[in-house]
């Protein structure tokens, strides 16, 4: 088993470049299924979620050419059947995007049920509601969601609540449907806007992405293009918090500062200096306790749930008591018990965490319970006295390109090590 080992207490200093956004990239890659010609995506992050997407594509018969480690040419015109292989798709939540893209192209899709995940139950009722507005029926066959439509015809979709995946899937299904689709109460995250820009560059007619109402007029043909994924808002936010937690001074480049506003505002409240430039931000923090604050996660432009574990970790070092409310998913505080091992004072009741600051965190063996929880453990390890050993790091590798290399270059004492698991040790005895 691989682990990340951190000897804490080193200030991060220097410059780090942010990779392409995971949550935009998985949507753009899936969207290539709708393109009638080969297309090239640049600035793809080198993370395991994208690697799984590529394996799914290859298994479905698409031609995937790696031009360089961040640039890939996709020819999905060779896909003949709207079926996603079972085992591969189950390892990736965003595989539900294949429902919308295959439905949009073939008017039919079989995709393994996403099921629950580390964040709790992940239903897709809103996705299916959107498809049904456009004329699709759905049923379950052999563990797969099966959606089918004789024809896709535009209509008015009203989401009951904000859903990123539901909005993505509604766009996928509507982009080549007949007539006008209106999505009300749409998600407004930067990756929704990136998807709309990607499809519009191919010739789609999508207006209003980034607002509550998205209007899509169906088109028949989407042409091949070359397009670069936006920078990752959450990776950038994670390095901002890491810089602060280590009392460092870091210039974070290749970012869109507008996407970081809610994170920047919280950091400033906590007493961290954040300077904004055109495509970079500089984060500096000095010694002493941070200032307590309260956080409530919200859909964009509110404070993102994907930054909650990292920012809560910083609050374990703030004077006084902070309250953090995160009810977007059921299970977003599983990292709290890991932080307690590191001397943090964090108590969780349901969707509310109460954090009372301590003077120092101490290194300990901890687990990455999910992707962002794993990022929080890295941040805690950088700030802590002593050695932190993080297991289950495959979660972290789903969404952070080269995190060990990037943090080492900033001066962290961090490395990835291979440690035989108890089972492997038992076999070798
Ligand atoms: N929900 C339903 N029914 C639906 C769809 C969603 O009940 O049909 C619920 C979810 O269970 C959740 C809430 O609505 O409680 C919001 O879910 P949403 O659909 O917005 O989330 P998602 O599309 O599954 C994406 C990101 C997540 C991020 C959330 C919220 C991708 C691939 N994933 O998930 O990213 O936390 O939006 O912003 O874009 C991560 O990157 O670590 C991550 C978990």
Report the nearest-CA residue for atom 10 of ligand 1. Answer: 122
Looking at the structure, tell me whether residues 271 and 367 fall in a common domain.
Answer: yes
Query: Given this model, what pLDDT does residue 289 score?
Result: 85
Residue 115 has pLDDT above 60, yes or no: no
Report the nearest-CA residue for atom 1 of ligand 1. Answer: 123
What would the two tokens of residue 9 be?
Answer: 């207490």
Q: Probe ligand 1: pick from 157, 167, 305, 306, max atoms within 8 Å of CB?
A: 306
Q: How far apart are CA 380 and CA 361, in angstroms?
A: 7
For the segment 143-160, the average pLDDT, to the nearest whole number, is 96
Whether 175 contacts 216, CB under 8 Å = yes
Looking at the structure, tell me whether residues 110 and 180 fall in a common domain.
Answer: yes
Looking at the structure, tell me whether residues 161 and 273 fall in a common domain.
Answer: no
Q: Please indicate whether residue 52 or residue 235 has the higher confidence score (pLDDT).
A: 235
State yes or no: cis peptide before 301, omega within 30 of 0. Answer: yes
Pick the last residue of a domain from 228, 256, 272: 228
Q: Is the CB of 396 under 6 A from ligand 1?
A: no
Cα 129 to chain centroid distance, Å, stands at 24
Looking at the structure, tell me whether residues 142 and 79 fall in a common domain.
Answer: yes
Q: Please indicate whether residue 226 or residue 122 has the higher confidence score (pLDDT).
A: 226
Which of 53, 117, 144, 284 is an active site residue? Answer: 117
- Predicted confidence (pLDDT) per residue in 327-370, tens digit: 999 889 999 999 999 999 999 999 999 999 999 999 999 999 99
Pick the last residue of a domain from 176, 206, 228: 228
Looking at the structure, tell me whether residues 238 and 312 fall in a common domain.
Answer: yes
Q: Which of 36, 313, 307, 7 is nearest to 176 (CA)?
A: 36
Looking at the structure, tell me whether residues 322 and 374 fall in a common domain.
Answer: yes
| Domain that residue 300 falls in | 2-19+231-425
Distance 211 CA to ligand 1 centre (A): 18
Least confident of 10-19, 106-115, 303-312: 106-115
Cβ density class 115-146: b for 16+ within 10 Å, e for less = eeebbeebebebbbbbbebbbbebeeeeebbb
Helix ranges, 221-326 (H): 233-245, 261-270, 308-315
Q: Is the CB of 372 under 6 A from ligand 1?
A: yes
Pick the last residue of a domain from 228, 243, 269: 228
Q: Which of 22, 73, 65, 64 is nearest to 44 (CA)?
A: 22
Report the nearest-CA residue for atom 28 of ligand 1. Answer: 306
Residue 291 has pLDDT above 90, yes or no: yes
Burial degree of 184 (CB within 10 A; 0-12, 13-18, 19+) = exposed
- Predicted confidence (pLDDT) per residue in 126-148, tens digit: 999 999 999 999 999 888 999 99
Looking at the structure, tell me whether residues 169 and 251 fall in a common domain.
Answer: no
Q: Find the CATH number of the domain harbouring 328.
A: 3.65.10.10
Looking at the structure, tell me whether residues 170 and 269 fall in a common domain.
Answer: no
Residue that the structure tokens 């002593």 belong to? 386
Order of strands, sheet of 280-284, starting from the edge strand that comes earlier in the sequence: 13-17, 249-253, 280-284, 273-276
Bridge partners for 182 per DSSP: 156, 215
- Predicted confidence (pLDDT) per residue in 52-109, tens digit: 999 999 999 999 999 999 999 999 999 999 999 888 887 776 889 999 999 999 999 9
Least confident of 30-34, 271-275, 330-334: 330-334
Residue 158 has pLDDT above 80, yes or no: yes
Q: Probe ligand 1: pick from 31, 189, 328, max atoms within 8 Å of CB?
A: 328
Distance 287 CA to ligand 1 centre (A): 36
Query: Given this model, what pLDDT does residue 423 score?
Result: 73
For the segment 386-393, the average pLDDT, to the nearest whole number, is 97
Our answer to whether residue 117 is catalytic in this structure is: yes
Whether 130 contacts 170, CB under 8 Å = yes
For the segment 375-394, the average pLDDT, to the nearest whole number, is 97
Q: Is the CB of 21 under 6 A from ligand 1?
A: no
Looking at the structure, tell me whether residues 246 and 376 fall in a common domain.
Answer: yes
Looking at the structure, tell me whether residues 417 and 378 fall in a common domain.
Answer: yes
Question: Band of the pLDDT at 230, cuts 50, 70, 90?
Answer: very high
Whether 322 contacts 308, CB under 8 Å = no
Q: How far apart are CA 215 and CA 226, in angstroms?
A: 24
Q: Is the CB of 53 under 6 A from ligand 1?
A: no
Report the mean per-residue pLDDT for the chain.
95
Report the nearest-CA residue for atom 15 of ligand 1. Answer: 329
Question: Band of the pLDDT at 427, cuts 50, 70, 90?
Answer: low
Looking at the structure, tell me whether residues 259 and 374 fall in a common domain.
Answer: yes
Residue 421 has pLDDT above 90, yes or no: no
Domain count, the chain: 2
Question: DSSP letter string over 111-169?
Answer: EE----BTTB----HHHHHHHHHTT-EEEEETTEEEEE-SS-B--EEE-SS--HHHHHH
Residue that the structure tokens 């040790």 belong to? 425
Residue 271 has pLDDT above 80, yes or no: yes
Residue 372 has pLDDT above 80, yes or no: yes
pTM here? 0.96
Looking at the structure, tell me whether residues 319 and 292 fall in a common domain.
Answer: yes
Q: Is the CB of 306 under 6 A from ligand 1?
A: yes
Q: Is the CB of 309 under 6 A from ligand 1?
A: no
Query: Given this model, what pLDDT does residue 113 score?
Result: 76
Residue that the structure tokens 């009392």 belong to? 247
Q: Tell me how many degrees the CA angle 144-147-153 measures, rounded to the nearest 5.
A: 165
Report the nearest-CA residue for atom 6 of ligand 1. Answer: 163
């Amino acid at each position: 088993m691989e682990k990340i080992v951190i000897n804490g207490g080193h200030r991060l200093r220097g410059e780090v470049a942010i990779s392409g956004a995971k949550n935009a990239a998985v949507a753009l890659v899936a969207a290539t299924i709708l393109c009638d010609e080969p297309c090239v995506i640049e600035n793809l992050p080198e993370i395991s979620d994208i690697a799984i997407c590529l394996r799914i594509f290859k298994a479905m018969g698409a031609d995937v050419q790696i031009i360089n480690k961040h640039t890939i040419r996709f020819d999905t015109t060779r896909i003949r059947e709207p079926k996603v292989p079972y085992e591969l798709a189950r390892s990736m939540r965003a595989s539900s995007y294949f429902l919308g893209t295959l439905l949009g192209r073939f008017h039919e899709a079989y995709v393994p049920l996403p099921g629950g995940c580390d964040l709790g139950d992940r239903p897709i009722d809103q996705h299916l509601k959107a498809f049904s507005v456009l004329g699709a029926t759905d049923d379950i066959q052999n563990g797969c969601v099966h959606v089918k439509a004789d024809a896709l015809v535009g209509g008015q979709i009203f989401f009951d609540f904000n859903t990123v995946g539901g909005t993505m899937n509604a766009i996928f299904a509507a982009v080549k449907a007949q007539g006008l689709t209106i999505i009300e109460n749409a998600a407004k995250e930067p990756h929704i806007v990136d998807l709309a820009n990607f499809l519009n560059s191919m010739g789609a007619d999508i207006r209003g992405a980034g607002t509550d109402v998205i209007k899509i007029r169906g088109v028949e043909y989407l042409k091949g293009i070359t397009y670069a994924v936006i920078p990752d808002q959450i990776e950038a936010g994670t390095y901002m918090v890491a810089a602060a937690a280590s009392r460092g001074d870091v210039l974070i480049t290749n970012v869109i500062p507008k996407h970081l506003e809610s994170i920047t505002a919280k950091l400033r409240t906590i007493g961290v200096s954040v300077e904004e430039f055109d495509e970079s931000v500089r984060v500096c923090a000095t010694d002493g306790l941070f200032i307590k604050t309260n956080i409530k996660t919200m859909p964009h432009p509110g404070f993102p749930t994907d930054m909650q574990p990292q920012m809560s970790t910083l609050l374990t070092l703030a004077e006084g008591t902070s309250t953090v409310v995160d009810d977007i998913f059921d299970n977003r505080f599983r990292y709290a018990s890991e932080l307690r091992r590191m001397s943090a004072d964090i108590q969780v009741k349901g969707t509310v965490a109460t954090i009372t600051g301590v003077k120092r965190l101490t290194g300990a063996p901890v687990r990455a319970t999910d992707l962002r929880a794993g990022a929080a453990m890295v941040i805690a390890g950088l700030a802590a006295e002593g050695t932190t050993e993080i297991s289950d790091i495959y979660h972290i590798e789903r969404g952070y390109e080269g995190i060990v290399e990037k943090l080492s270059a900033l001066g962290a004492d961090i490395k990835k090590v291979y440690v035989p698991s108890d089972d492997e040790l038992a076999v070798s005895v």
